[in-house]
Structure 1
C-alpha cells in the first residue's frame, strides 16, 4: 500500500511539472526559431503595429533582434537593441525557476505573480521606458 502512495505522489509531481516544462519547451523553441530565422532580414516577421501606425517605438520594439543577438552570443548588440528585454530575462528565469521548485515540492500554485506594488513598479518602468526611448535625449534606447 505504501508503494502505491509513493508512486501516486511521483506521478502527481510529474504532472505538476508538465506546465513549467511545457512553457520552457515553448520558449526554447521560439528562441531557437528566432535564432535561426534572422529578424534583421526583411519579410520574415511582421512590422510592429504600433511602429507602423505611429512611427514611434513601443517597449517591445527590437526584442526579436535582441533575442537573435543573444542566440548568437552577442549581448552587446542585444543591449543596444532593447535593454529592457535583456534586463527582464533574469527576472523571468527567476519566476520560472520558482514555479518549477514549487511544482516539484508539491506546493500549491500562487494566484498572484508578485506583490501588486512590484507589478505597478514594473508597469511604471515600462511606461517611462516607452516615452524616453521616443524622445531625442533617449535615442540611445531606440533599436
Structure 2
C-alpha cells in the first residue's frame, strides 16, 4: 500500500540530530557541548609548572653547585674539555635564585636569557588561562634552526680565547 503524501499542515521530517544513531538503531539523546573548564582547572597546569620550576630553583639555590659532589659533572666537559652551552647553568641558576644577576650572567648568560624567555611564556600562559582563551605555543621550524645556530655559536665562542668571558 502506498504511503500517503504529506498534507500542507504536516511538517516535513526533521533532519537527523548530531547525536543520531546509525540507521537501524534507535536514536539517542542529542549531544550537548561540554561545559567550559573552570578557572581553577584552567590554572592547574601553569601553576603546577611554576611550582615545579620554583621548587627546582629553591633546591639549586639551597644546594651550592660550586661545592663538588652535589651534582654530576658535565660529561662533554669531563671527557673532551669542551664547554657545552649548558656548562655553568647550575651555577647560574644558583646565583639567580640568590638574586646575584651579575654572577648569574657570568656563569651562563644564555641560561639567564632562557630564564627571561621562560618568564614571558609563563606570564602569557597564566594571563590566557585566567581569561579563558586557549593557549597553544607553536614554534615555526625556522626558529628552531635559529635557536640551534645561537647555541652552536655560543658554544664555539665560549671555547675560544676571545670568548673567555662567556666561560663559567
More helix by share: 1
Aligned to 1:121: 146
Structure showing greater relative contact order (alpha-carbon pairs closer than 8 Å, 6 or more residues apart):
1
Q: 1:88 aligns with which of 114, 118, 126?
A: 114
> How many pairs are equivalent?
134
Q: 1:103 aligns with which of 129, 132, 152?
A: 129
Structure 1 residue ranges, 4+ long, deviating more than 2 angstroms after superposition: 114-120
Question: Are 1:137 and 2:162 counterparts?
Answer: yes
Q: 1:50 aligns with which of 61, 76, 97?
A: 76
CA separation of 1:134 and 1:91: change in aligned 2, threshold 3 A: same
What is the 5 A alignment of 1:65-76? 65-76=91-102
CA–CA distance in 2 between the matches of 1:61 and 1:140?
13
Structure 1-normalised TM-score? 0.85
- The two structures, once aligned, show a CA RMSD in angstroms of 1.6
Please say which structure displays the higher CA radius of gyration. 2
CA–CA distance in 2 between the matches of 1:76 and 1:18?
34
| Gaps in structure 2 of 5+ consecutive residues | 1-34
Structure 2-normalised TM-score? 0.73
Aligned to 2:50: 24
Q: CA shift at 1:12, angstroms?
A: 2.1
